[in-house]
């Protein structure tokens, strides 16, 4: 548990504590996401509970996930707003960001206030989802054989066909195939590292 006072200067201390703990657990793969979650939750305490309010950060490693909790003394539970925020508006974008990164999240009232929690998967679900979606797309491109029965050259050719068709589709929609391909390569390299 890391106690802190809700102040902007304390947010860097929260990030440092997260980085240190995840490093000691060997869970550095989610350090960036966990630091961002801790920052957003700490900033929410400052904004909604009050500057210098007493709070604490709790980190736990459980079954392939990292759980972050921020406890404070307010009983007001946050909720995602259904309306879309304008670019200059600060109407809950932090919670939307947390919800998009998290495997799961929520808020719980306690006898002394509440805590907001978030769980990040050590094996990102997004990556698992991408692999599953790719397998489904590939199955539409090949004969009834399974992907595992394709030789590496045939599988490589099938993947190339999928990528080529997607780039053609994007161009017809008015998108930028070169930019999308470059971004996809950067994302792949970052996630593979």
Q: Tell me which residue has tokens 């050590």.
A: 122
Provide φ and ψ at 179, rounded to 5°. -65, -45
Q: Which two tokens stand for residue 18?
A: 């997260």
pTM of the model: 0.60
Q: Tell me which residue has tokens 């979650």.
A: 37
| Domain ranges for the chain | 2-123, 126-192
Residues for the chain: how many in total? 193
Within the chain, strands assigned E span: 2-5, 54-62, 65-72, 104-110, 113-121
CATH architecture, domain 2-123:
2-Layer Sandwich (3.30)
Q: Which two tokens stand for residue 79?
A: 């909720």
Per-residue pLDDT of the chain (193 residues; tens, 9 = 90+): 999 999 999 999 999 999 999 999 998 888 888 998 999 999 999 999 999 999 999 999 988 899 999 999 999 888 765 444 444 444 456 777 787 778 888 899 999 999 999 999 887 555 555 566 666 666 666 544 444 455 677 777 878 878 887 887 777 778 888 888 888 888 777 777 6
Q: Tell me which residue has tokens 């470059």.
A: 182
Would you say 18 and 39 are in contact if contact means Cβ atoms under 8 Å apart?
no
């Amino acid at each position: 548990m890391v106690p802190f006072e809700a102040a902007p200067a304390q947010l860097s201390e929260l990030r440092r504590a997260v980085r240190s703990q995840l490093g000691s657990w060997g869970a550095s793969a989610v350090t960036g996401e966990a630091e961002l979650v801790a920052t957003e939750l700490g900033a929410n305490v400052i904004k909604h509970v009050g500057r210098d309010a007493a709070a604490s950060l709790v980190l736990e490693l459980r079954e392939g996930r990292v759980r972050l909790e921020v406890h404070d003394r307010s009983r007001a539970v946050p909720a995602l707003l259904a309306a879309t925020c304008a670019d200059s508006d600060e109407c809950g974008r932090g919670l939307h960001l947390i919800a998009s990164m998290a495997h799961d999240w929520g808020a719980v009232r306690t006898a002394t206030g509440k805590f907001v929690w978030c769980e990040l998967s050590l094996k990102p679900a997004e990556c698992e989802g991408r692999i599953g979606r790719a397998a489904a797309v590939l199955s539409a491109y090949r004969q009834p054989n399974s992907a595992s029965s394709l030789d590496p050259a045939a599988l490589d050719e099938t993947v190339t066909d999928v990528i080529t068709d997607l780039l053609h589709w994007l161009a017809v929609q008015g998108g930028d195939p070169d930019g999308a391909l470059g971004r996809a390569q950067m994302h792949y390299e970052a996630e593979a590292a």
